[in-house]
Structure 1
Amino acid sequence: MSVKKTKSVNMSRNSMPLRDMPLLSVQGSLLHLTKRGNKRKSMGCNSDGLEVECTPTDCIQHCSPLRKHQRLLTRGKENEDNQFVIARRPRRNREILSGLSWDHLPDELLLKIFFYLPLQELLKMASVCKRWHRLVFDESLWHSVDLEGLAHMGPALQHILKTGVRRLRCPRAFVEELQFTSSRPLQVIQMDLSSSIIPVAALEGIIASCTQLQNLSLEGLQLSDAIIHSLAKNDNLEQLNICGCSGFSSGALEEMLKTCQRILQLNISWCDFTSDHVKSVVHSVSACVTHLNLSGYRENMTLDDIKVLVSRCQKIHILDLSDSTLLMVDSFPVLAQLKHLLHLSLSRCYHIHPAALSDLAKKIPSLVKLDVFGLINDSHLPALKKEMPHISINSRLFSTIARPTPAGRAVGHYSDCSMWNQKCRLRVRL
């Protein structure tokens, strides 16, 4: 009888309306509902008993702020109790916590920071974002660049020329292909392309866009009349080195020299010249030239050419006439007319007798250096030095006239990377 009574009591409680149940039972059902919701999300199945009942809306709204407040209190403590949780904080909060972002820095400050980066690191910065890419290639960072040793020279040279570079060093380069076209003149002031292999058409495109050149070295390159005519547009040219060049006529050379009357240093030695080329030089070179290298012209350089040169260019300090085999002792009185002559090179001028060299100290009192390689034996050199104690004899093997890097240094050494006594800021480091 007691079992039946208990069963009837339970049935009556289960059938009792939900609004007449005690509040404790309602809160308990809310907790069960929360657990049931979690179980449904995790297991996808229903449970029996009170958990299937619908919870009143007012109770859910009453308890919801407690759950939200609980999330705020636990923020930042996701990984406590050895429970790993990935939580992403809002970007605005991260910026506030860090104090200052790179995006907040002005362009001027970023450019100042980029200025101290080497070339390879600077190029890496260009891949960070569009803004940094724009700043990395700002003209202020690319005023002086040294590309010596770069493998793929063509694309790099084409890109560098368009960055507004002022000083470009690129000797001993191999440029396989270069399609260079520019809608505006280049800003290059100093450029060294010595001993490079560059197609004539590519070099014509580069020189044709240059109008502000002051120092230029094209030593050993194949040129053309178009290149020489383009050089004539650079009326501020002061140092020009076209030693060992070929491929241009005497007429184009004469026009260029008559236009560029500010040239102070000219190295035009060992070119593929005829006697007409030599005459174009001595009749057209600037009267204010101070350093002149006209060596290597053997039978094409005559005494009459020396007379024309001396009468026009009285400011010459350094003169190289080596390998002019037609010159003899009768050229000494002509050379004595150069009152400011400090350094004279007569190496391998075999028609000059060694005994006559001692008279140079008397005829040219301003002379301090004399190069006569091939004219006097090493055994007789001490006696000649004794007769001319104030003159340094055979002290320099190679000419430095208009050359960006003096010859004789170890190629590839860091001290060999200067260009007209200045080093480029951005340099390829291998």
Structure 2
Amino acid sequence: MSHKRPLQELSLLSDKFEGSMLSDSHQRNKQKSRECLGGLDNENTPTELIQEWSPPHKHSRVVIKGKENQGNKGRRFVLARRSRKSTQFTVAVSCWDSLPDELLLHILSCLPLRDLLRMSRVCKRWHRLAFDETLWQSVDLVGITQLDCALGQVLTAGVKRLRCPHTFLGEPHFTKKGHLHVQHMDLSSCTASPSVLLDIMSRCRELNHLSLEGMELSDGIIQSLAENPNLEELNLCGCSGFSADVLGDMLRSCSRLENLNISWCDFSPDHVKAVVDNLACSMVHLNLSGYRQNLTMEDLKTLVERCPNLQVLDVSDSVLLTTDCFTVLLELKELVNLGLSRCYLIHPASLADLETFPSLRTLQVYGLVQDSYLPSLKKGLPRVSINSEPFSRVARPTPVDLREHRMWNMRCRLKYRL
């Protein structure tokens, strides 16, 4: 696959964008179009192809009347009319060719993804310009079910913002060596082997936001994450396949990490301890829920000591936490959102003590407080919104609607539309 030309590789991506959404008649028309465009590998269009596209020529008129022809009986004079359309085509091509690259890039920057891929097939120059790094800064591929070599092409085109969750990642087949420029990447719930994901992550050094939610990882992948010192937001919710020691090393290396969702992973008590012992003091939002008997009161004390600036903390489903945890959490002066859902050793009546938390505004206690007691609790905590967020937003790129072409409140320019 690696020996194919870039234009042929690009056809694979274009086929995926259009093939599954068209009827059979459209498919046949596209096949004929590809056969016609197959002759455009060279910048000069073949004469045969121009003749095929041009309208049929009118029959030539033979002129034999007139005195001028009387002396030349063996000769015949022919009047032919040049095709008007072919003249216009030549003039149009020459006009486009006369435009500088900067102006053509500005025109291409206004095109949607589908049209940009079509324009790349016109000639070699347009193919080069269509894959200029300035045009591929942000790409949203939500809705595509499978990506193979097209993923490698998009990443090596200089993309800095990539969104393609719920996608099957085949073999990217990178045609270029070196590091990628991607800074914000959402691969949530993608299907990929750890080796394929490692091939991608080992090329990343500039990551700032990353979501690998629900994926099977490896120690090599976690080690690759440690090579991104500017990483600020990381979503590893529901991940598995890596050891506690490697996790601790990664958290120490990513000293600028502020938002971390590491809930419901396949963790042992050693994994939880590796998290709380190595979190950066810059941590602001943390989701450490789902660890039942693996998160202890001692772990919570260590966590609060290391991260005194926490504003959002979710330790739901930690059945070893008791009412005594309020004394520990009170040290978090900037705590705004607290999650204690299904922490069954905390008595519901003691939740009224949270009134002493100066900054607390939202409280999640699903499964802990019965519906009949909620009105009394809300009356005792008038400043606090209770059970208003059923799903955690910590480090998640698009927690509400995948159809919204945003991730971490950043919009992508090139979008795949169904």
Output the TM-score relative to the length of structure 1: 0.78
CA distance in 1, matches of 2:93, 2:138: 36
Tell me the alpha carbon deviations over residues 174-198 of structure 1, each in whole angstroms, 9 at most, x when there is no partner: 1233344752110000000001101
Contact preservation (8 Å) 1:189, 1:214: yes
Match of 2:190 among 196, 199, 210: 196
| Rounded Cα–Cα distance in structure 1 between residues aligned with 2:92 and 2:350 | 82
- Asked if residue 369 in structure 1 is aligned to residue 362 in structure 2, the reply is yes
The secondary structure found in structure 2 opposite 1:35 is coil
Q: Deviations over 1:99-149 (max 9, x none)?
A: 971111100000000001000000000111111010000000000001122
Distance in 2 (CA, whole Å) between partners of 1:97 and 1:223 is: 56
SS at 1:36 equivalent: coil
Counterpart residue identity of residue 301, structure 2: K
Structure 2's unaligned 5+ residue stretches are: 1-65
> In the alignment, what sits opposite 1:163?
157
Aligned to 1:139: 133
Q: Indicate how the Cα distance of structure 1 residues 337 and 310 shifts in structure 2: closer, same or farther if over 3 A, else same.
A: same
Q: Which amino acid aligns with 2:313?
A: L
Query: What is the DSSP-based 3-state SS (H/G/I as helix, E as strand, rest coil) of the residue aligned with 2:185?
Result: strand
Aligned CA distance change for structure 1 residues 229 and 390 (closer, same or farther; 3 Å): same
| Counterpart pick for 1:348 among 342, 346, 358 | 342
Read off the aligned partner of 1:335 and give its amino acid letter. L
- One of 97, 121, 135 as aligned partner of 1:103: 97
Taking a change above 3 Å as real, the CA distance of residues 135 and 398 of structure 1, as seen in their structure-2 partners, is: same
Matched, 1:358 2:352: yes
Q: Does 1:87 align with 2:75?
A: no
- Is this contact kept in 1: 2:150–2:172, CA < 8 A? no
Secondary structure of the residue that 2:198 maps to in structure 1?
helix
1:383 aligns to what? 376
Percent of aligned pairs with the same amino acid:
52
Shift of 1:422: 1.5
Aligned to 1:42: none
Match status 1:35 vs 2:69 = no
Please state how far the C-alpha of 1:361 moved relative to its aligned partner.
1.0
The 8 Å contact of residues 148 and 170 in structure 1, kept in 2 or not, is answered as yes
Whichever residue aligns with residue 399 of structure 1, its letter is S
Mean alpha-carbon deviation: is it higher for 232-241 or for 96-105?
Answer: 96-105
Partner residue, 1:237: 231
Residue-by-residue CA offset, 1:373-392 (whole Å, 9 max, x unaligned) = 00111111111101111111
Equivalent position to 1:281, from 264, 275, 282? 275
Q: Provide the residue aligned with 1:314 in structure 2.
A: 308
Letter in 1 for 2:75: G
Matched, 1:121 2:115: yes
Give the superposition deviation at 1:90: 12
Q: Judging changes above 3 Å, is the alpha-carbon distance between structure 1 residues 34 and 151 closer, same or farther for their aligned structure 2 residues?
A: farther
Match of 2:260 among 266, 269, 293: 266
From 213, 226, 230, the equivalent of 1:219 is: 213
The structural deviation recorded for 1:35 is 3.2
How much has 1:29 moved relative to structure 2?
9.4
Q: Which residue of 2 aligns with 1:424?
A: 412
State the secondary structure of the residue aligned to 2:383. Answer: coil
Bigger CA radius of gyration: 1
Query: In structure 2, what is the Cα distance between the partners aligned to 1:354 and 1:315?
Result: 26
Shift of 1:270: 0.3
Structure 2 Cα separation of the partners of residues 179 and 122 of structure 1: 22
Alignment-mate amino acid for residue 421 of structure 1 = N
Q: Which has the higher contact order (CA 8 A, sep 6+)?
A: 2
Distance 1:208 1:221 in 2: 16
Question: C-alpha displacement at 1:267, in angstroms?
Answer: 0.4
Post-superposition CA distance 1:227-268 (Å, at most 9, x none):
000000000000000000000000000000000010000000
Give me the whole-angstrom Cα distance separating, in 2, the residues matched to 1:151 and 1:250: 33
Secondary structure in 1 aligned to 2:363? strand
Deviation of residue 171 (structure 1)? 0.3
Instruction: Give the RMSD, CA atoms, in angstroms.
Output: 2.2
Counterpart for residue 399 of structure 1: 392
CA distance in 2, matches of 1:331, 1:96: 79
Distance 1:126 1:353, change over 3 A: same
Q: How far off its partner does 1:372 sit?
A: 0.4
Give the letter aligned to residue 285 of structure 1.
L
User: What is the DSSP-based 3-state SS (H/G/I as helix, E as strand, rest coil) of the residue aligned with 2:234?
Assistant: strand
1:283-340 CA-to-partner distances (Å, cap 9, x unmatched) read: 1011110000000000000000000011111000000000000001011100001111
Offset, 1:88: 4.8
**Partners in 1 of 2:172 and 2:93 — Cα distance?**
48
Displacement of 1:151 in angstroms is 4.2
Does the Cα contact within 8 Å between 2:146 and 2:167 map onto a contact in 1? no
SS of 1:161 mapped into structure 2:
helix
Alpha-carbon deviation of 1:152? 3.9
Shift of 1:155: 1.9
Q: Give distance in 2, aligned partners of 1:349 and 1:288.
A: 26
CA 1:35–1:117: 2 relative to 1, 3 Å:
same
TM-score, normalised via structure 2 length: 0.80
SS in 1 for 2:75: helix
CA pair 117-385 structure 1, distance change in 2 beyond 3 A: same
Asked whether the equivalents of residues 180 and 205 of structure 1 are also in contact (C-alpha less than 8 Å), the reply is: no
2:161–2:412 contact (8 Å) kept in structure 1 = yes
Shift in CA distance, 315/96, structure 1 to aligned 2, threshold 3 Å = same
CA contact (8 A) 2:198 2:221 kept: yes
